[in-house]
Amino acid sequence: MDARKTDRIATVIFWAIGILALGILAFIVIEIFVRGLMTAINPSFFAGKPEALQPGGGIGPMIVSTIYLAFLTMLIALPISIGAAIYMSEFAHEGRFTRFIRFCLDSLGTVPSIVFAIFGMTLFLFYLDWRTCLLAGALTMALLNLPVLLRSTEEALRLVPVTYREASMSLGASRWTTVRKVVMPTAMPGIITGTILPLGRIMGESAVVIFTVGVFVRSIPLSPFDPAAPLAGYIWYVQSEAIVPDYRTIVNGGAAVLLILLFLINFGARRLSAYYSKRKSLGG
Amino acid sequence: MSRERYIKMLLMACASLSFLAILLIFLFIFKESLPAITRVGIPNLFSTAWNPDKGQFGMLSFLVGTLLTTLGGLLLGAPLGVGTAVFLDQVAPPRMANAIRRGVELLAGIPSVVIGWFGLIILVPFIARVTNSAGYGIAAASVVLAVMVLPTITALSAETLRSLPIELKEASVAMGATRWQTIRKVLLPAGREGILVAVILGMGRAIGETMAVQMVVGNSSQLTLNPFQPTGTLTSNLVTNMGEAVGNFRSALFAQALVLLILSMILIVSIRLVTRSKER
Amino acid sequence: MEDNGDGHKMQVNNLTMYYGDFKALDDVSLDFASRHITALIGPSGCGKSTLVRCLNRMNDLIDGSKVEGEISLDGENILGPGYDVISLRRRVGMVFQRPNPFPKSIYENVAYGPRLVGIKNKEKLDSIVEDSLKRAALWDEVKKILDRSGQSLSGGQQQRLCIARVIAVQPEVILFDEPCSAIDPISTQKIEDLMAELKKNFTMVIVTHNMQQAARVSDYTAFMLVEEQGQPGRIVEFGDTNTMFTNPSDKRTENYITGRFG
């Protein structure tokens, strides 16, 4: 029958699509690893100092910059997004204000990262006369990730059963006390899991760091006001300037390191959420 | 009680920060682009002539580049994304579905530069060989964009499908429809709005995507419809030039950023329109 | 039933309540005798829960709710402007229909209330927790597992934990909103026995759709009704429980009661 035949063809096509999707991922990862894995796991590479002109440079300070920046960004972004999420979920009534804020958040979420980058550059480097530094990048990145963090925190808060809040308030606790002592502790696992993926985004972001943090440093940045060179930006810089003779090796190696870093984060996030849901089902 | 009031205000301030942020961004970009708008003039800004040294700052070729690469990325990425979502939700056995879900998540996490680099060392030479050209251009950028929007479109479409009531499928199957018939005639139409939103959001990502595109599109100011010739997009132009630009040049670049902002706003509004009309 | 000499602990006078535009209660007046149990009975949707939730102003939490009339606790109108709602809820505690212990240990669940009022001393907390759990007839079952999660207990135990939690705050009134509807019969029996004990120290109001329970447990009963769907709830009859069940004055009360006993 014609319908059955079409169904069979469709099934084949869908399988092909599914395999293609996986295949694309596999292809990219394999190609990068084939070219860069050996370099990536070489200690003189991932812990070594970079070279501006000579071959053989490493990416030690870049890795530190990446982690430092991610940490700083979260330090700024988390309290704000958690505070805002608590307001939206626990204190505000759904109305014009909350709808307006959600609109602002959605808008913030669609602004291209390059626009954030030049905004950050203009504000911090030109108006405030800073030099390219971690803090400028962290502040800009915090804005960039605000919508994502706020949404995941709000999700986690909403999953807390209403009846806990009722019980707490009926015992004479104020809203804030209820949030602090009952809602937040219950929602914390979800909130934490929700911050892991943005962490990955922050580490992979290049446009913002190029314009606000820096693309090359010789030594490990120490203070938030030091210039730094997060890995994603450095890779772009090396491949676009192509000054050092072994730039391909460096880029391949750097890309592999980035992939490893991000896979670890992804894996860690999954483990964390599995751990928390296991604890929950045991009545913890 | 006043402590509670104080805390509530503090929290509200946090929420209001999002308004402050978007406002600031708009104001800054607008202010910085004013010199170009007033001194260089809109006709100049929207021409195809891009010669910064001679004071010509026409962004039209870049605008076209953005639109064409976005279109190309969606043409490739949307069917693939929706198809993957359908496969995940309706066709794949549980373990395969899980593997694909994880795979798409991983794909989403791959940084722009890495995909761009992959495009540069593998895709571009391949295109160059096959089409006897330089390899850079809209085609390369479209493929790269398709890879980048795939996770977004897949994830959102899959979620839309998952949230459809099971009764829909059951009703169709009970009437003797094949799986493909059910998908085509019942599920996809029912999920139309959510899938549309997924595609629009994918479009937003494509428009704003910077690094990967910049690495493969060729960074030329030439307006071309030939997918295998180097050209430029708004985002790639910004990355290439913003570092050193001064004066009117810089301001003209901000004007391009302003156009990008406006394009994103249009997307947000269209998403709101699509979802609101369904609620009627 | 003799009055314990304390008179009426709480009084409701001409209470009308709205959820937005919907009138849920109309001109309700009722007294709650000190250290006695008053039951609210009536068919589903007649407003019993709504009424009881007004007594500790839990309805304030619902957007668009509005109250008219007066509710007094020890003579003071709790609906008055500037009345301290937080302290009201400490004096008037509530046990909910579904047991809702916090995802904390048994100890922490009971200690939650005392901590709220600033009690930090470990010994004091220990003694309050033990005392409350004893009075909720749960101590023997949990005294060795105080660190375990409150949610790991059975349904009936969880509800007694919630009762202990309320007792720990040392309220004057305890409201029970259909406390046994989600509990097995044996635990229900335990809780009913518990209530008879608690009566000695607390004024209690119990909402129930189980008439045998109301007849067994309460000293006074109020019967509520809505005329038809969409109408507000009203009090049909209120009085001494024995009288109500053996010789009700209102025909509608009689119909309801005999319908069930029948």
Tens digits of residue pLDDT in C24-34:
999 999 999 99
Question: Residue A53 burial (CB < 10 Å; 0-12/13-18/19+)?
Answer: exposed
Q: Which of C63, C87, C100 sits opposite A164 (nearest CB)?
A: C100
- Predicted confidence at residue A149, as pLDDT, reads 93
CATH class of the domain defined by A43-281: mainly alpha
- Residue identified by tokens 């490493």 is A58
In chain C, the largest separation of any two C-alpha atoms, in whole Å, equals 57
- Residue carrying the six token digits 């807390």: A160
Helix (H) or strand (E) holding B175: none
Residue-level length of chain C: 262
Q: How far is CA B234 from CA B65, B158, B242, B250, C79, in A?
A: 7, 31, 12, 14, 62
Full set of structural domains in chain B with CATH: 61-251 (1.10.3720.10)
Helix, strand, or coil here: A140? helix
Does pLDDT of C78 surpass 80?
yes
How is residue C114 written in tokens? 């005392």
Chain B (227-266) residues lying within 8 Å, Cβ to Cβ, of chain A: 235, 238-239, 242-243, 253-254, 257, 260-261, 264-265
- Give the CATH architecture of domain C8-99+173-261: 3-Layer(aba) Sandwich (3.40)
As a whole-number percent, the residues of chain C with pLDDT over 70 amount to: 97
In angstroms, the CA C186 to CA B130 distance is: 80
pTM: 0.83
Q: Are B265 and A108 in contact (CB under 8 A)?
A: no
Q: Across the interface, do A186 and C103 touch by the CB < 8 Å criterion?
A: yes
**Bridge partners of C31?**
C11
Report chain B (280 residues): mean pLDDT per 10 consecutive residues: 84 92 93 89 85 85 93 95 94 91 91 94 93 90 95 94 86 83 87 91 91 91 87 92 87 93 91 74
| Ranges under pLDDT 70 in chain A | 1, 280-284
Q: Does A95 touch chain C (CB under 8 A)?
A: no
Q: pLDDT tens digits, residue range A262-277?
A: 999 888 888 888 887 7
Residue C262 — pLDDT band, cuts 50, 70, 90?
very low
Write the single-letter amino acid at A256: A
Interface predicted TM-score (ipTM) of this complex, two decimals = 0.89
Residue contact A93–C63, C-beta within 8 A? yes
For A271, how many CA atoms within 13 A lie in the half-sphere containing its CB? Answer: 6
Beta-carbon contacts of B244 under 8 Å, excluding residues fewer than 6 positions away, are: none
Q: Cα distance from A172 to chain C (closest Cα, Å)?
A: 5
Q: Using the beta-carbon criterion (under 8 Å), do A167 and C98 form an inter-chain contact?
A: no
Q: Where are the domains of chain C?
A: 8-99+173-261
Number of H helices, E strands in chain C: 10, 10
Using a 10 angstrom Cβ sphere, with 0-12 exposed, 13-18 middle and 19 or more buried, the burial of residue C242 is middle
User: In this structure, what token pair is assigned to residue A165?
Assistant: 């809040």
Return the partners of chain C (3 or more C-beta pairs < 8 Å).
A
Which chains are adjacent to chain A, needing at least 3 Cβ pairs under 8 Å? B, C
Contact A98, A92 (CB under 8 A): yes
- Collect all residues of chain A within an 8 Å Cβ-Cβ radius of residue B107: 21, 24-25, 28
Indicate the domain borders of chain A. Answer: 43-281
> Taking all residues of chain B, what is their mean pLDDT, rounded to a whole number?
90
- Say how far apart CA B18 and CA A111 lie, in whole Å: 13
Between positions 39 and 78 of B, the ones with CB within 8 A of A are none
| Closest chain C C-alpha to A279 CA, distance in angstroms | 11
Q: What's the pLDDT at B243?
A: 84
